[in-house]
Amino acid sequence: MKKLRTQVAIIGGGPSGLLLARMLQQDGIDSVIIERQSAAHVEGRIRAGVMEHGSVEVLERAGVGQGVAEHGLVHGGFDLASDGRLCRIPIEALTGRSVTVYGQTEVTKDLMKAHRAAGTAMFHEASDVTLHDVTTDTPYVTFRQGDADWHIEADFIAGCDGFRGPSRQAIPAAQRREFEKVYPFGWLGILADVPPCRDELIYATSERGFALASMRSETRSRYYIQCRVDEPLEDWPDDRLWDELKTRLGPDVAANITTGPALEKSIAPLRSFVCETMRHGRLFLAGDAAHIVPPTGAKGLNLAVGDVHYLGAALGAFFARNDTRGVENYQTVALRRIWKAERFSWTLTRLLHDFEDDQAFDRRMRTAELDYIFSSEAAQRSIAENYVGLPFEDVLAG
């Protein structure tokens, strides 16, 4: 058994864990990252692409904002579409802030590059990861990497290991407050090296269901359509998917869609989930380990950045001057932001998707809500404020 001592053991080497380690490093706090996948797998995962204004600022303060600044696409608005009608939500004009399209894959690569340069201790392809004694002052983590068994003792453990990771499971089920809604559909996505059909995103609803026109760069596009979550992927050859996208987005948008072979194609289920027990002793949950949102509101990565922003500040204050306010406030402060983002994502999902149990009245209500949004600056302002990102609270206050 090989042993190691650190201040913070971070379970999960995705963007949440990598960003937290980077922030701790800036404060002179030692950490170790433990990840079950290979580094190549982590850097190659295709994920979200819209970053809130505040998330970009967090990356800049962490010293990993150069990629966003050089290659990110700054958007001052996005479109809502209903049966071919378009309504632009001018988020910059309404809020004074913008969002940036920059793929989570690129964020992860930027963070990995910074950690390799700094020599951060990272254990990839770790198996049998187990958390121990998390309610004591000496929690530790055990795992196996290759032929070696490891025992890492820490002052704190940060669970940044996603929805199915071991961190949340280390909290006894009777002490976890969990809330979940599973949606009766998924998103079928296609990534292709073709120019986007529009300079900004389009969230569309139609009689055939939801569609999203998005991008990763000026030459790479990401499109989605609502589908049954159990549909075989082979039932959706590229030509059929492109035709369905054009139908749902409407003729004006369809005229500008360039088609091409799929670089990646997959079906993702949708769920809303919150584990309100984000702190258990010296274990803290962050990112997907604590919450999942439907991608409709573009909040997944941004919520993770928010958690890490709070947790990094809390741990920094603890180690710098034994200030426990942030550690004690973390769960309460983070949850306020999480539930507001859950509300926004749920609202957009309900507004733009076709639910199989909807009645005629429900569909009329959606139409009326969209008509109101299209004609009301007040409604558009509310959407803009949530989409661009709600402000961070001070986790050390109180």
Q: Annotated active-site positions, please?
A: 75, 203, 295, 299, 387
Place of tokens 């075989």: 232
H helices present in 96-197, as ranges: 104-118, 166-169
Residue 162 is given by DSSP the state -
Helix (H) or strand (E) holding 39: helix 39-44
Please list the helix, strand and coil fractions of the chain in percent, rounded to the nearest 5, in that order.
40, 25, 30
∠ CA 291-152-310, nearest 5°, is 35
Is residue 259 within 8 Å of residue 192, measured between CB atoms? yes
Among candidate residues 207, 208, 200, the one with its CA nearest the CA of residue 387 = 200
Task: Report how far residue 211's alpha carbon sits from residue 227's, in angstroms, rounded to the nearest whole number.
Answer: 10
Is residue 157 within 8 Å of residue 188, measured between CB atoms? no
253-to-79, 219, 238, 302 alpha-carbon distances in Å: 11, 17, 18, 28
- State whether residue 187 is helix, strand or coil: strand
Cβ density class 177-199: b for 16+ within 10 Å, e for less:
eeeeeebebbbbbbbbebbbbbe
Instruction: For residue 89, give the amino acid letter.
Output: I
| Cβ within 8 Å of residue 232, ≥6 positions away | none
